[in-house]
Structure 1
Amino acid sequence: MNGYHAVNAQAMYEGRRAIHRKLVRHAEVRDAVLDRLKAGWSPEQIAGRMKLEDHPVRVSHETIYRFVYSKTGRALGLFRHLPEHRRRRRPRVGRKPHAARFSAENGISRRPGTVHKRMEFGHWECDLMMFRKEHGHANVTSLVERVSRFTVTLKNRDRRSKPVMDALIDGLAPLPQPARRSITFDRGTEFTAWAHLKAGIGVATWFCDPQAPWQKGTVENTNRRLRRYLPRQADPSAFTNRYLRSICDRLNAQPRKCLGFRTPAEVFREKLMEIARGGG
């Protein structure tokens, strides 16, 4: 039967698009993306890491999002591995820009070389570990000191920025000032109250470039270690402070090759002793 048929035309259009989608055409790339999604990486982290590693076939974070919300992605339930766990993607037009909430002077490009090269103790990286939506808004802050790789975790009832910053203030305030010089964040909305943190304990704040949370790779790598004990499907409201401390104690007692096989706890303690002797 001749003529234009909307249903058939749409099916042909979708078929033509599928032929050219990298995640459909390249199975090895698709498998790598799926593995990292299931490991808790965001599409931005995956795309950024592929660019950093100079993969011969790379995909953008937008391509990954489209695949997640495609018929194939929905059938696989891939949205459950995203930080927000939304069944449907929000319209791009309706998303609120967050760039104005972060000062350009606090961009990671302005961060001193002594921080970037791990030449100075007391500089931290911070992230929020999220869990499945059915467990509510509770989450866990992960903090890692860049020189020693010393890890701290903190409980949060929700993602509101000021309470998250209050928890950081309470957690870091007991340390001497040279042990809490700065914190590097990504540009998540939970970190928009950075001025409150700075006013509270005088810590400097730095922010990754937009859609580049991999620039705080130390805490991202630590999150993967923590996921062994804090899986995404767990209920974070059930975590006790004692349990979180025990996890950190375990990680901080493991020797690291990057530390000459010393432990983060040993290096952190050594640096605190140097500060106490007036060498900070």
Structure 2
Amino acid sequence: MLVRLGSVPRPAAAEYDARYLSQDERCEIARMHDSGCSMRAIARQLSRSPSTISRELARNRDPRTGHYLPHHAHTIAWHNQRRPKPSKIASNPRLRAWVRYMLKKRLSPDQIAGRLRVRFPDDESMRISHETIYQSLYVYPRGELTRELKAHLRSKRTQRKPRGQRTNKHDRIKNMVSIHDRPEEVEGRLVPGHHEGDLIKGSLASNSAVATVVERHSGFVTLAHLPEGHGAHAVATALSQQMSQLPTWFAKTLTWDRGTEMARHADFTAATGIDVYFADPYSPQQRPSNENTNGLLREYMPKGTDLSQHTHDDLTAIAEELNNRPRKRLAYLTPAEVFAKLLEEDHTNGVASAP
């Protein structure tokens, strides 16, 4: 079992960490408890929390007599602290079978945990947290749930994505301006000229990518060809060429994620006059128009394919097709129609204001 769990037991002679009760402390607890001292008095004497004393007396009593025996309690505590412990899935074949069954039905671990409470409302042995299921899939090298069950997870990941505190891998982008410093008018989609952008990447072998940019007001899509790879210089150059073709009133800001392909954002701003803002790490919801459009683009450029096979003309045709697709939020107008209307209004206003 130890090999399967990927760990070794704690040596019998190992010293206790100071946060754990020592054998001498347990002897003092037994003496004071037998003399009628309260738990708070015992805690003050040992400089421990009253809850620590309460848990110790509740957990480590002799199960036969119900009396607290310090040496016996110390042995029980040592065995309880040994690692690794067999997981709940490993020690409960019935629970493991149900989790396997529901994973094969493509339920998420959270749905499985909730469904078990509904299916077995009075059976505490059939309770499990979604975190325990994830650990059984990802943590143990030869865990209780077989490798092929990972394929039934919606994410299709072979390794778990870390949560919580992460190291910042984007410090190489100098002088970033946060999305929180963006003009307030960007939030409402009422003012045209504010864009969201990102890369969609091809197969690892091809190291290919396409830069995608979406205007928030109209949903107008611009695709940038990257035949020279997706390094910072190549991306800045390709985006500058594409975005410079737009009217200045339609090209005010660009919000990007924190990928290092935008490390040359200052060069892009100098060439186009478009201010670049960076979304928070791991926050695709801050670029919803671009994320939605990238999903649509995968119909034309599937994951794991060589995107370098798509020429500049191919990308122009794909963008044109998307820009002529009616959108519900535009009252079923197309992005191209909205853009044309904006161009007409700008021309009319320009003529009206001419001397």
Q: TM-score scaled by structure 2?
A: 0.57
1:272 aligned to which of 343, 348, 355:
343
- 1:170 corresponds to which residue? 241
Q: In the alignment, which residue of structure 1 is the partner of 2:321?
A: 250
RMSD: 4.1
Partner of 1:43: none
Query: Does the alignment pair 1:117 with 2:113?
Result: no
CA shift in 2, pair 1:70/1:124, >3 Å: farther
Deviations 1:3-22, CA, capped at 9 Å, x for gaps: xx742664884852878xxx
* Among 208, 211, 214, the residue aligned to 2:285: 214
- Within the candidate set 200, 206, 218, 2:271 is matched to 200
Cα deviation for residue 242 of structure 1 reads 1.8
Taking structure 1 as reference, are residues 275 and 88 closer, same or farther at Cα in structure 2, changes over 3 Å only? same
Deviations 1:175-232 (A, max 9, x none): 2211110100000111111111111111011111122122101000001111111101
Asked if 1:138 is matched to 2:134, the reply is no
Cross-structure match for 2:3? 7
Listed one character per residue, the Cα deviations across residues 81-137 of structure 1 (whole Å, up to 9, x for unaligned) are: 89xx999999xxx97631462536x21111122111112111111010011212x21
State the shift of 1:163 in Å. 1.0
- Equivalent pairs, count: 239
Matched, 1:29 2:108: yes
Deviates more, 1:208-217 or 1:95-104: 95-104
Greater C-alpha Rg: 2
Structure 2, gaps ≥5 residues long: 8-82, 91-98, 112-128, 351-355
Correspondence for 1:97 among 153, 169, 173: 169
| CA distance 1:270–1:15, change in 2 (3 Å) | farther
CA distance in 1, matches of 2:224, 2:146: 33
Equivalences for residues 34-113 of structure 1 within 5 A: 75=148, 97-99=169-171, 101-103=173-175, 106-113=177-184
8 A Cα contact 2:279 2:286, kept in partner: yes
Structure 2 residue aligned with 1:126, among 161, 173, 197? 197
DSSP-derived class of the 1:230 partner = coil
Partner residue in 1 for 2:304: 233
- Which segments of 5 or more consecutive residues in structure 1 lack a partner in the other structure? 33-57
How many angstroms apart in 2 are the aligned matches of 1:10 and 1:86?
18
2:213·2:221 contact (CA, 8 Å) conserved in 1?
yes
Residues 179 and 272 of structure 1 are in contact (CA less than 8 Å); yes or no, is this contact kept in structure 2? no
The residue that corresponds to 1:184 in the other structure is 255
Rate the CA distance shift 1:7–1:218 in 2: closer, same or farther, 3 A.
Answer: same
